[in-house]
């Protein structure tokens, strides 16, 4: 399948593009600055330019498109810029895909639309699934709500299958080895200080597992995905102690329902992706940190 990925040079985009290429797809990456990805046809494109999305899709005629491009971190730009950039870009790209007759279109959202960054937020239920009420607390979260609604609009009005997914806190492969995560801390630092991971309710996902999710989404029957959204996360929490032991001090918004989270269970449910797509993550922080440590020790011995 020929798959276009917008934002292919980003933290998630790099792993998604190379992962789909490794799974046998013909991948074309669109970004303002190519990242030198192996096995990916990278094109330097500014999708914010008027008509750019339509021109490139008419030229490439992909079977599928995954839209990641946009401002990826809350509060990393003025609120108005985040809202306008993310929503306009998504509408342009999804509209161009509909006009070009792209068969499958998947847009990245986020867990933030449920509103857990708000001081007064309380979870409606735990574990949190796709039915949780929306309560965006900043422009980034609001932009993702608009993107999800745009997906549903095109699902109602255009042929093909349009869907969205909410990747949890993305950790790219190099971050297991000590590179900084998107908030400027290492994974080890986030584990050592629960307050650092509590701001996202201890959620996370390996970027390569997201690639596997997208591959499963592309292969799924249209009626299982059209207009649907999915949480995509790890099968455990990014914490050394159970969330049931941590929530009162670090994430009180989860409430007493979090007491039912047993062992390493996460606050976010990925059961919908399992049940509809047959997808389940294959990586967790314990095994990935151990593998990174073994690699480091081997390199040190051979240096």
Q: Is residue 114 part of a domain?
A: yes
Mean pLDDT rounded to a whole number for the chain: 96
- 261 close to 126: Cβ distance less than 8 angstroms: yes
Percent of the chain with pLDDT over 70: 99
Q: Is residue 295 part of a domain?
A: no
Name 53's Cβ contacts closer than 8 Å, sequence gap at least 6: 47, 92, 93, 95, 96, 97
Q: Is residue 134 part of a domain?
A: yes
Q: Which of 191, 292, 171 is nearest to 238 (CA)?
A: 191
- What does pTM read for this prediction? 0.96
pLDDT in tens, 266-281: 999 999 999 999 999 9
Distance of CA 67 to the CA centre of its chain: 10
Q: What pLDDT is attached to residue 287? A: 97
In CATH, what number is assigned to the domain containing residue 271? 3.40.50.720
Q: What pLDDT is attached to residue 233? A: 98
| Rounded average pLDDT over 133-140 | 98
| Rounded average pLDDT over 132-149 | 98
> Angle 207-219/11-22 helices, nearest 10 degrees?
50
Q: Which residue has the tokens 């895909």?
A: 97
CA distances from 47 to 34, 44, 86, 144 (A): 14, 9, 11, 18
> Angle 79-100/139-157 helices, nearest 10 degrees?
20
Give yes or no for residue 132 having a pLDDT over 80. Answer: yes
| Rounded average pLDDT over 156-160 | 95
Q: What pLDDT is attached to residue 303? A: 65
pLDDT in tens, 61-108: 999 999 999 999 999 999 999 999 999 999 999 999 999 999 999 999
Q: Report d(CA 270, CA 82) in Å as an integer.
A: 27
The reply to whether omega before 127 is within 30° of 0 (cis) is yes
pLDDT-based confidence at 300, cuts 50/70/90? low
Domain span holding position 62: 2-169+204-237+267-283
Three-class secondary structure of residue 231 per DSSP = strand
pLDDT in tens, 246-271: 999 999 999 999 999 999 999 999 99
Give yes or no for residue 297 having a pLDDT over 80. Answer: no
Q: Is residue 300 part of a domain?
A: no
Q: Is residue 107 part of a domain?
A: yes
pLDDT-based confidence at 218, cuts 50/70/90? very high
Q: Is residue 177 part of a domain?
A: no
Q: Is residue 89 part of a domain?
A: yes
Total structural domains within the chain = 1
The runs of H, that is alpha helices, within 27-67 are 52-60
Q: Is residue 76 part of a domain?
A: yes
């Amino acid at each position: 399948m020929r798959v276009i990925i917008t934002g292919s040079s980003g933290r998630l985009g790099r792993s998604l593009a190379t992962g789909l290429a490794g799974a046998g797809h013909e991948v074309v990456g669109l970004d303002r600055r190519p990242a030198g990805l192996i096995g990916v046809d990278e094109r330097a494109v500014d999708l914010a330019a008027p008509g750019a999305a339509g021109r490139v899709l008419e030229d490439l005629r992909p079977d599928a498109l995954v839209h990641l491009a946009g401002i990826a971190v809350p509060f990393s730009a003025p609120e108005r810029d985040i809202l306008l950039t993310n929503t306009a870009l998504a509408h342009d790209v999804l509209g161009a895909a509909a006009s070009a007759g792209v068969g499958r279109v998947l847009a990245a959202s986020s867990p933030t639309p449920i509103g857990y960054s708000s001081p007064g937020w309380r979870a409606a239920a735990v574990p949190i699934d796709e039915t949780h009420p929306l309560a965006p607390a900043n422009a980034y979260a609001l932009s993702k709500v608009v993107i999800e609604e745009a997906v549903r609009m095109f699902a109602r009005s255009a042929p093909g299958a349009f869907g969205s997914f909410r990747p949890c806190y993305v950790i790219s492969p190099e971050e297991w080895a000590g590179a900084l995560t998107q908030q400027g801390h290492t994974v080890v630092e986030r584990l050592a200080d629960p307050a650092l991971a509590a701001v996202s309710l201890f959620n996370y996902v390996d970027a390569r597992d997201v690639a596997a999710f997208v591959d499963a989404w592309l292969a799924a029957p249209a009626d299982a995905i059209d207009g649907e959204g999915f949480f995509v996360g790890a099968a455990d929490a990014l914490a050394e102690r159970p969330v049931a032991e941590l929530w009162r001090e670090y994430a009180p918004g989860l409430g007493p329902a979090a007491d039912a989270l047993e062992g390493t269970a996460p606050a976010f449910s990925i059961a919908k992706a399992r049940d509809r797509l047959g997808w389940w993550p294959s990586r967790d922080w314990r095994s990935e940190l151990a593998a990174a440590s073994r690699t480091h020790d081997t390199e040190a011995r051979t240096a």
